[in-house]
């Protein structure tokens, strides 16, 4: 496939907006507190009423602020602004391997991000990467078990409050979609593989939870080429994935350069929550103490938070504070501390900056913060617990998933 053929094939798959001759300036500056409050107000208003009406009433700058707020990094901001200006309903791609029980970052954080995107008028395609989980030896490579896990994860997102009304969120199983359009998918994968040297592909191994030093199977080497192809196959304008997926998203932009394609997928990489124990850069499904699962009982949550790493007066790399910043405050728009008068009395924080300042100065102690954090998380998770207790299908799925052995 030469450059022209590849570009034409991708253009047939995709429907990107026409590029603007000049980039729209994105130099509006607000301080962190004002930006956070504005975004919360905008996304809350959009999700609480008819989405199409709310979105039509938003200015371009308002849409940009909501969408941009999801990413710890955006490549590139001017391209994002132009996309929102030119395309009424941009397509956002997110995906996951059905690989075990769902932790709170995958459950709550994804629901928050998806709801923000749909409130700004985006369509979100969630790629249930069952074939990818098999390639990566998840659930021992048993596709039937992987499918059960995928169904369980969808049940959780429904229960926690992901906005699935109006058809703006679509769950797509990779095996079914690829099989139905194999004539489009595999030539694209092969072209991406042909244009990249092995060291470049190996640098993407982080997307599978692997390192370049790991002994990889041939299937795992093929995996990045397929994930890169997914972006074009799904006609994605925005890749909305975690920072750990950044390298393969950049590979997709490099591929656009190779085939002379002007409109590149925009990368919007969200923050990765750390594990609860000291030195854990990310949560691990194979280590129950490192994360809170979406269907954990109240006592489990209380115990895990009680044992969590939370050094006094230390804000950086403090997992308890990260939970508050990225989950509790975006969910409730406040964080309430309840304590005795001699310890400072009750206090409600409306933004993270104020909370961090109090914690760093010692005015807020871990012994007061942790119970408040446990209470907030339990309140978020209660609808999920109720769903898995009262819905027979969900109950059966969870029982089966808990019986599966998690494999790497």
- pLDDT tier at 218 (50, 70, 90 boundaries)? confident
pLDDT at 211: 62
pLDDT at 283: 75
From residue 226, give the alpha-carbon distance in Å to each of 189, 190, 196, 220, 362: 6, 9, 13, 10, 49
Segment 119-168, tens digit of pLDDT: 999 999 999 999 999 988 889 899 999 999 999 999 999 999 999 988 99
| Lateral strand order in the sheet of 238-242 | 73-75, 266-270, 238-242, 91-96, 123-128, 169-173
pLDDT at 40: 52
**What pTM was estimated for this model as a whole?**
0.83
The region of weakest confidence among 51-65, 97-111, 135-149, 381-395 is 51-65
Q: Is the pLDDT of residue 104 over 50?
A: yes
Residue 285 is given by DSSP the state: T
d(CA 336, CA 373): 9
Within 13 A of 13's CA, how many CA atoms are on the CB side? Answer: 24
Q: What is the mean pLDDT of residues 294-320?
A: 96
Domains detected in the chain: 60-270 (3.40.50.620), 298-403 (1.10.240.10)
pLDDT at 202: 87
Q: Is the pLDDT of residue 30 over 60?
A: no
Contact 257, 227 (CB under 8 A): no
Higher pLDDT, 61 or 99: 61
Contact 136, 223 (CB under 8 A): yes
Cite the DSSP H helix spans in 161-266: 174-180, 182-194, 198-202, 218-233, 246-258
CB atoms within 10 A of CB 231: 30
- pLDDT tier at 289 (50, 70, 90 boundaries)? confident
- pLDDT tier at 290 (50, 70, 90 boundaries)? confident
Compute the mean pLDDT over every residue in the chain, rounded to the nearest whole number.
86
Q: Is the pLDDT of residue 344 over 90?
A: no
Q: What is the mean pLDDT of residues 266-273?
A: 94
Q: Is the pLDDT of residue 364 over 90?
A: yes
């Amino acid at each position: 496939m030469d450059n022209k053929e590849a570009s034409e094939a991708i253009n047939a798959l995709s429907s990107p907006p026409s590029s603007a001759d000049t980039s729209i300036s994105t130099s509006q500056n607000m301080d962190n507190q004002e930006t956070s409050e504005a975004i919360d107000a905008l996304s809350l208003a959009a999700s609480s009423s008819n989405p199409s009406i709310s979105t039509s009433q938003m200015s371009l700058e308002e849409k940009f602020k909501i969408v941009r707020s999801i990413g710890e990094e955006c490549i590139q901001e001017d391209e994002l602004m132009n996309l929102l200006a030119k395309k009424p309903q941009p397509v956002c791609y997110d995906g996951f391997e059905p690989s075990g029980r769902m932790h709170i970052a995958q459950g709550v954080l994804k629901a928050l991000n998806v709801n923000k995107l749909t409130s700004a008028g985006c369509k979100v395609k969630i790629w249930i990467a069952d074939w990818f989980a098999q390639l990566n030896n998840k659930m021992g490579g048993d596709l039937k078990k992987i499918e059960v896990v995928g169904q369980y994860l969808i049940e959780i997102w429904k229960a926690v409050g992901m906005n699935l009304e109006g058809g703006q969120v679509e769950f797509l199983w990779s095996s079914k979609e690829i099989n139905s359009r194999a004539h489009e998918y595999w030539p694209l994968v092969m072209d991406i593989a042909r244009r990249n040297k092995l060291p470049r592909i190996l640098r993407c191994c982080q997307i599978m939870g692997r390192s370049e030093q790991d002994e990889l199977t041939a299937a795992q080497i093929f995996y990045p080429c397929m994930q890169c192809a997914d972006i074009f196959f799904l006609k994605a304008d925005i890749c909305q994935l975690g920072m750990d997926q950044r390298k393969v998203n950049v590979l997709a932009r490099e591929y656009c350069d190779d085939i002379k394609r002007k409109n590149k997928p925009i990368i919007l990489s969200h923050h990765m929550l750390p594990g609860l124990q000291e030195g854990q850069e990310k949560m691990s499904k194979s280590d129950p103490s490192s994360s809170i699962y979406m269907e954990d009982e109240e006592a489990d949550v209380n115990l895990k938070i009680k044992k969590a790493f939370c050094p006094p007066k230390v804000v950086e790399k403090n997992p308890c504070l990260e939970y508050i910043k990225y989950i509790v405050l975006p969910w409730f728009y406040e964080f309430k501390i309840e304590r005795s008068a001699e310890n400072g009395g009750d206090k409600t924080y409306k933004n993270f900056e104020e909370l961090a300042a109090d914690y760093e100065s010692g005015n807020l102690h871990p012994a007061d913060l942790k119970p408040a954090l446990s209470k907030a998380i339990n309140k978020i998770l209660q609808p999920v617990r109720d769903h898995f207790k009262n819905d027979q299908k969900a109950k059966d799925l969870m029982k089966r998933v808990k019986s599966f052995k998690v494999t790497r």
